[in-house]
Amino acid sequence: MILYDYWRSSSAWRVRTALHWKGVSFERRVVSLVKDGGEQHREEFQTLNPSRQLPVLVLDDGVHALTQSMAIIAYLEERFPTPPLLPAWPTPRRRERTRSPSVPPTRARDGDVGWCQSRHSSPRKSCRT
């Protein structure tokens, strides 16, 4: 599998964490959301994801490109059920499903591109790549 990824992407970080947790091997391709106005706007990336967003997970068949972090994680959970990402019981499962679409506060503070942009008037130039 190939994960299109960037350290400032909290959504890609979520998928990367799930892949590591499940022990799935993957190749990482970095798409800087900052460099040169954002590499996600390049034509070759738009072909992969017309929404121009990370993450994108390309499956082993090299054909299917999955987008939307929570949908990718649901796919990983179905395809690789062990070890599970969610607790067995309904109440903690519900709690994790509520929590997981949010960016953890430390992650938001330290790296997220949205956070960085909200603090700079010229965000693409000011955010460290």
Ligand X SMILES: N[C@@H](CCC(=O)N[C@@H](CS)C(=O)NCC(=O)O)C(=O)O
What is the identity of the amino acid at 51?
S
Q: Are 13 and 39 in contact (CB under 8 A)?
A: no
| Residue 49 binds ligand X, judged by CB under 6 A | no
Residue in 3, 18, 19, 33 binding ligand X, rule: CB under 6 A = 33
Total binding residues toward ligand X, as defined by CB under 6 A: 14
Return the number of other C-beta atoms located less than 10 Å from residue 64's C-beta: 10
Which of 16, 48, 69, 76 lies at the binding interface for ligand X (CB under 6 A)? 69
Q: Is 4 helix (H, G, I), strand (E, B) or coil?
A: strand
Residues engaged in binding ligand X (CB under 6 A): 9-11, 33, 38, 40, 52-55, 68-70, 113
